[in-house]
Amino acid sequence: MWALRGLRNGVLTTRWPARPDEYAAVTRGPATVPTSAARADSSENVAALCPTGAIGVAASGAVRIDRGRCILCGRCVAARPDMFAWTSGPALAALSRAELVVPGQETPEALAAVTAGLRVRTGALRRSVHLRHVDTGSDGAEEWEILALLNPVYDIHRLGIFLTASPRHADILLVTGPGTPGMAEPLRQTYEAMPHPKVVIAVGTDAVSGGIVGPAHDAPTTAGGVGDIVPVDVWLPGSPPSPFAILSALLLALDRLPTAAVPRASRGGKR
Ligand code: SF4
């Protein structure tokens, strides 16, 4: 019965990133400002649209979005489609926190230095990579997406990437949740227990900035997400990010993304 069903369905596992995948291209990411020319009239308070303080307006009226704070509630896109739009596709991760702010604030030189430093550290991790996941107060959404990476559709084992229960065996630390005080020390200890070289990925808007329970609401979380507890190498916004976006962040950290799939701002000196 199951064998027949398998034969009938064929191979469902994605070949992404080696081959394009239609579904990867349409997954939704945080809101953005499509052009740097977007201006807000002095009489309108577009920043008030956002429940997490992701939208900022300069004195000149120039609008910017911190995608690291966006929880994809859709209020800005619904109210001002002329000013805001959704991002799409898996290339959402950034190698610096400043890179998540659009229009960009990161200089190409600073980004190239970060990219080169990470490349040196992860050069030895190309073929067999183990992930340790720590939940620091997540609502559970990111965990579903991380677990989906193990199902037959995404199957990260095909790329030599595996989950491990022990930080002693881990190369990459995936951190979800805003970094609640009770999880700060366990997270620190997990990071310390990992061997070098090690990479930290903040997975989801909560981990990147605190999200809806972050500093904009004076909530009892750490001030700005898990970057206040451990040094973050890759910042992945999304509420939650799709499995394709998580996979893209992993491959970005390992310098294994094809050039076309690397986020434009992170290309730096990509070979
Ligand atoms: S959280 Fe909502 S209002 Fe704020 S930037 Fe994201 S989609 Fe727009």
Residue 46's CATH number: 3.30.70.20
Reported as a single tens digit per residue, the pLDDT across 109-150 is 777 888 888 888 888 776 789 999 999 999 999 999 999 999
In a domain, 255, yes or no: yes
Confidence of residue 270 (pLDDT cuts 50, 70, 90): very low
In a domain, 167, yes or no: yes
On average, the pLDDT of the chain sits at 87
Domain end position, chosen among 88, 113, 130 = 88
Reported as a single tens digit per residue, the pLDDT across 20-62 is 888 888 889 999 998 755 676 766 788 999 999 999 988 888 8
Q: Ligand 1 atom 1: the closest Cα is on which residue? A: 70
In a domain, 19, yes or no: no
- Residue 256 CA to ligand 1 center (angstroms) comes to 31
Domain end position, chosen among 71, 88, 105 = 88
Residues with CB under 6 A from ligand 1: 30-31, 49-50, 52, 54-55, 65, 70-77
Query: Based on the structure, what is the number of domains in the chain?
Result: 2
Q: Ligand 1 atom 6: the closest Cα is on which residue? A: 70
**What single string gives the DSSP state of each residue in the chain?**
-HHHHHHHH------TTTS--HHHHH-EEEEE-S-TT-B--TT--GGGG-TTS-EEE-TT-BEEEEGGG-----HHHHH-TTT-EEEESS---BSSGGGGEES--S-HHHHHHHHHHHHHHHGGGSS-EEEEEEESS--SHHHHHHHHTTSTTT-GGGGTEEE-S-GGG-SEEEEESS--HHHHHHHHHHHHHSPSS-EEEEESHHHHH-GGGSGGGT-SS-BTBGGGTS--SEEE--SSPPHHHHHHHHHHHTT-S-GGGS-GGG-TT--
State the pTM of this model. Answer: 0.90
